[in-house]
Chain A
């Protein structure tokens, strides 16, 4: 059974592109667009890793990450954070909250694939 990736992102076209390349690479991709219910979706699924956007409707990716790390069942879950804001303070906040990796938009498909392969392998 292929590993599961949960993509939490509200931009439909980004969802389609990332889902396509991950699926083509052999991963099972689930998607979720709402920040308010994202943490619950993680617990219900559960995925082998999460790709989490910072700017989401309802709740920020930082708050969601904080919740995941506070929960023993998800505290070690690999999380790749995506953000359109490339300032050092955003990177520092993400890493301090427990993000496994941090990537700024726009990114290349190859970068995403490399990180997903590395995180799930680990």
Chain B
């Protein structure tokens, strides 16, 4: 979906293409040059008459200025720059949307490859089963190499030794084949994280609202076979929520009161978490952009549904200032705040978050806490809390929550 902060970048881009100074354009639109500068750098939102005046001065249709690339592309371009000093990604997206899309797609592919490599490296380094299997492979290969060298290089080898070593090579070869097959099977089994992300991709492609599950007996359509188990678990929760918070009544409530998880929870007698999950799965025709994130007590993402202006990194730690993580230090206390991301100060995200204990499954089981955050794009203008995507690419050097390397604090 379009992201309005690119209006400023498009104005600047068009002005530069026409060779018009900021002062001249500002004068023709009846505003100061300093105010135009704020607009061009996305620090002021405009519309209506001022947008029309600027468009006229730039000889373009106002719709051309407000047509823009989505925030996901901007975020990806920011990651591609990796802190290097380059032109703002909004400028690239505004002037060369096609190339911006190409760079964004390639960056996403690269990030996915890096994520897979990191996951495999972590698996090799810390997975005891994998480590043991690899050690067994190497040791068996060593034995085969040493023994076969003796058989090949010693023409005078005593027949008893020949038989003994031949037998050893045979036994080692069988063992190597078995270990190798087991290793391949083990590596081919998708990790839990891999299945979780694959199912998220399936939901993303379906738009997260699944009409077939709005009826009690409904079942998910076109689910890939390796996601069936995850899909069934998710569908059961969706159906229960659809029964508890029927769509027609929920539509009416939203039409009257807007996106209000507390109101939904109170109306239908459900938990805040259930209300937030239900709101995140509303049909796109309702004209609201709603995201959701859920994490465990360690901050690891359990669920993620992006929306306009909101996305959290899956492979790297996110900014700790998000209400999602702030809620972990105040379990049971609902939090509501408005946040802005660097470079997108025109987009305010209204965040509702609560951390709760998951239902106990056994008497002596440890307490499991999870935090859930609902994100509504385009919040009313209030004093927002600055947050970031991830410290690695965040320009807010003076942020007190900025994450340093682990060794730096020792």
Contact = CB atoms under 8 A, between A and B. Distances in A.
Interface of A: 11, 13-14, 16-18, 20-21, 55, 84-85, 105-109
B297 to A, nearest CB: 31
A17 B150 contact: yes
Contact of A16 (B147, B149, B153): B147
Which 3 A-B pairs give the minimum distances between C-beta atoms?
Answer: A84-B138, A17-B146, A106-B142
Given A14-B142, A55-B139, 5 more contacts: A13-B147, A20-B165, A84-B135, A105-B142, A106-B146
A18 B146 contact: yes
A31 to B, nearest CB: 14
A13 B150 contact: no
Between B146, B153, B161, the greatest number of chain A beta carbons within 10 A of the residue's beta carbon is seen for B146
Contact of A17 (B134, B135, B141, B147): B147
B134 A16 contact: no
Interface in B338-357: none
Contacts of A84: 134-135, 138-139, 142
Nearest to A16: B168
A20 B168 CA distance: 13
B164 A107 contact: no
Interface in B127-164: 134-135, 138-143, 145-147, 149-150, 153, 161, 164
26 contacts: A11-B140, A11-B143, A13-B147, A13-B168, A13-B172, A14-B139, A14-B143, A14-B146, A16-B165, A17-B143, A17-B146, A17-B149, A17-B150, A18-B146, A20-B150, A21-B146, A21-B150, A84-B134, A84-B142, A105-B141, A106-B142, A106-B146, A107-B142, A107-B146, A108-B145, A109-B149
Nearest to A11: B139
Most chain A CB neighbours (cut-off 10 Å) among B134, B138, B141, B142: B142
A17 B171 CA distance: 14
B135 A13 contact: no
A20 B134 contact: no
B249 to A, nearest CB: 60
Contact of B164 (A16, A18, A85): A16
B46 to A, nearest CB: 57
B150 A109 contact: yes
Interface of B: 134-135, 138-143, 145-147, 149-150, 153, 161, 164-165, 168, 171-172
A17 B114 CA distance: 42
B320 to A, nearest CB: 30
A16 B143 CA distance: 9
A21 B165 CA distance: 12
Contact of B171 (A13, A14, A109): A13
Nearest to A10: B139
Contacts of A105: 138-139, 141-142
A109 B149 CA distance: 7
Contacts of A14: 139, 142-143, 146
A106 B145 contact: yes
Contacts of B143: 11, 13-14, 17
Contacts of A17: 143, 146-147, 149-150, 165, 168
Nearest to A106: B142
B150 A106 contact: no
A4 to B, nearest CB: 20
Contacts of B141: 105-106
A15 B138 CA distance: 15
A12 B120 CA distance: 31
A12 to B, nearest CB: 8
A114 to B, nearest CB: 14
A85 to B, nearest CB: 8
A49 B26 CA distance: 86
Contacts of A55: 135, 139
Q: Which of B140, B153, B164, B172 has the most CB of A within 10 A?
A: B140
